[in-house]
């Protein structure tokens, strides 16, 4: 049983693929550096992430695979599922080694699993595009908090940069403790000590712009006025608007 230890980064995974082909040794497991090796692990390698090797692998994949297949790999990685890295490794090896195009060979269980996983991440991406809500701060920055099930925030940033190009904004993933800040010119990844700014999942009142609370109250009244109590269907509402987003929806008062 061959074990690869690496830093659990995407570039690290690509480096593992490079080294596997170089060594002609293919891992049964991919573990984080520092993890306890399994009892019956006979041979192990510690793979140091190498950006040049990772880039060479990615260029090979770009030449070999379609854009859709490349997106599947990215979405699969962003799922953050425990065994996603090994699944990606196995699928990449199958795609690279095959002389035929088997990107959509759903008879292969690994390829099918990757498609199913990527579909879940894609769904979460669309939820973010639908349910991001901004609050205006005293600094004229529009601030949004999200807590997606998967690490889908990087997938929507270009969309928000295009849609809100004329205003400064921050979208922050409170589950993964990072976010993105757009300063009217470029988007930067940021980290914040976010808890000191929050009350009940939203920005505390002292950080809000002067008229922000008024606009939120008006929006809540509008939302309430449109609601027909006799036709409420909470089960359907939860299906269309997952409850994990509710705390950050401005139209739903705490």
C-alpha 64 chain-centroid distance: 25
Q: Which of the 8 DSSP states describes residue 234? A: H
91 contacts 114 by C-beta, under 8 angstroms:
yes
| pLDDT for residue 218 | 83
| pLDDT for residue 114 | 98
Local structure of 75: helix, strand or coil: helix
Distance from C-alpha of 221 to C-alpha of 49, rounded to nearest angstrom: 53
Q: What are the strands, taking DSSP E only, across the chain?
A: 2-6, 29-32, 43-46, 135-136, 141-146, 168-173, 178-182, 187-190, 198-199, 202-203
**Residue from 254, 242, 244 nearest 217 by CA:** 254
Domain ranges of the chain: 2-123, 132-248
* 155: enclosing H helix or E strand: helix 153-163
67 contacts 141 by C-beta, under 8 angstroms:
no
Tell me: the pLDDT tens digits for 223-242?
788 788 888 887 887 778 88
Tell me: the pLDDT tens digits for 53-111?
999 999 999 999 999 999 999 999 999 999 999 999 999 999 999 999 999 999 999 99
Average pLDDT, the chain: 91
| pLDDT at position 201 over 90 | no
| pLDDT for residue 253 | 66
Local structure of 185: helix, strand or coil: coil
| pLDDT at position 244 over 90 | no
Lowest mean pLDDT among 45-49, 59-63, 139-143, 201-205: 201-205
């Amino acid at each position: 049983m061959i074990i690869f230890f690496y830093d659990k980064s995407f570039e690290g995974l690509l480096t593992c693929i490079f080294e596997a082909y170089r060594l002609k040794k293919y891992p049964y497991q991919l573990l984080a550096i520092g993890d306890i090796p399994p009892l019956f692990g006979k041979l192990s390698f510690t793979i140091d992430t190498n950006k040049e090797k990772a880039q060479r692998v990615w260029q090979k994949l770009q030449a070999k695979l379609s854009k859709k297949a490349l997106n599947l790999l990215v979405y699969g990685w962003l799922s953050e599922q425990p065994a996603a890295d090994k699944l990606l490794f196995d699928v990449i090896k199958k795609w690279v080694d095959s002389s035929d195009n088997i990107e959509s060979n759903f008879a292969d269980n690994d390829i099918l699993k990757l498609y199913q996983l990527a579909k879940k991440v894609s769904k979460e991406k669309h939820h973010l595009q639908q349910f991001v809500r901004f609050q205006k701060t005293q600094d004229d920055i529009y601030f949004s908090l999200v807590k997606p099930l998967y690490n889908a925030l990087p997938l929507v940033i270009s969309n928000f940069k295009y849609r809100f190009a004329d205003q400064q904004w921050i979208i922050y993933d409170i589950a993964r403790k990072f976010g993105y800040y757009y300063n009217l010119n470029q988007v930067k990844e940021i980290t914040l000590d976010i808890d000191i700014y929050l009350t009940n999942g939203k920005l505390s009142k002292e950080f809000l712009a002067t008229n922000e609370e008024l606009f939120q109250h008006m929006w809540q009244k509008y939302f309430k006025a449109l609601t027909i109590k006799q036709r409420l269907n909470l089960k359907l509402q939860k299906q269309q608007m997952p409850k994990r987003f509710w705390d950050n929806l401005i139209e739903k008062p705490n």
